[in-house]
Amino acid sequence: MQDSRLASVAAAIAEPARAKMLCCLLDGKARTATELAIVGEVSASTASEHLARLKAEQLLSMLAQGRHRYYRLHNHDVASALEALLLIAAPPKNTFTPNTPHYLHAARTCYDHMAGTLAVRLHNRLFELGWLQPDPSDTAQYLLSSDGKAAMEKLGLDIAEISKKRRHFACACLDWSERSPHIGGALGAALLQLAKQRGWVAQDLDSRRLQINSAGKNALQSLFGISI
């Protein structure tokens, strides 16, 4: 039963127009059928059929606001699966050169958390500081040390509340461009929200790119010892 379900989901993703629509939604935003038709380079009627299929496979969710209908990725698991597929879509060559658009390399969103060079450096730095450590029962999942918990709470994160969310607390999310993990899960999402709220980063309106300003660079240096 599971293998037939897998085949059905894979077939839904495999259609080129649907794949474009799904990848477009990796920035965590919701978009209309008209916008997604443009992304998929198909007619409105064809887009409607594609969106119905993706919704039926629980890859997309529809949000209704008045007369408008918006579509977004169904959940974090869908986003993680798409990122993983993007990773294997372009097999590494003898000399690896990321095929991610150059402007996305430094910092971008991966659904609701941060990806790119900055995110990988932050991931590695938290391990170097001893704030983050692998979960002994599952090394793909992460735990905060007592020092890490204190540091995150000093930043203003409510770790107890973050831990209650119905998702992984923190996990390794393999970065598409860097081929190394960044921090996914509830902690990764909370760190991105903190960076936005403090005005350290700003997301482009029409892409996944995150732009780091001088305040963000200063914060990264003073709080984590990361130079940009």
In terms of Cβ atoms closer than 10 Å to its own Cβ (0-12, 13-18, 19+), residue 197 is exposed
Size of the chain, expressed as the number of residues it contains: 228
What is the torsional sign of CA 196, 76, 88, 16?
A: negative
Residue 64: partners with Cβ closer than 8 Å, 6 or more residues away: 70
pLDDT value for 119:
94
The third-level CATH classification (topology) of the domain covering 2-74 is Arc Repressor Mutant, subunit A (1.10.10)
CB atoms under 10 Å from CB of 33, counted, come to 20
For the chain, residues classed under CATH 1.10.10.10 are 2-74
Using CA atoms, how far apart are residues 14 and 27, in angstroms rounded to an integer? 20
Given this model, what pLDDT does residue 105 score? 80
Full-prediction pTM beyond 0.85? no
- Cα–Cα dist 62/184, whole Å: 24
How high is the pLDDT of residue 95?
44
Q: What is the pLDDT of residue 91?
A: 56
Q: By the 8 A CB rule, do 12 and 53 touch?
A: yes
Distance CA 112, CA 105 (A): 17
Q: Are strands 60-65 and 132-135 parallel, antiparallel or unpaired?
A: unpaired
> Would you give per-residue pLDDT tens digits along the chain (228 residues)?
567 888 999 999 999 999 999 998 987 778 889 989 999 999 999 999 999 999 999 999 998 877 788 898 988 889 888 988 887 776 555 444 445 566 678 899 988 999 999 999 999 999 999 999 999 888 889 999 999 999 999 999 999 999 998 889 999 988 877 878 899 999 999 999 999 999 999 988 778 889 999 999 999 999 999 987
Q: What is the DSSP letter of 66?
A: T
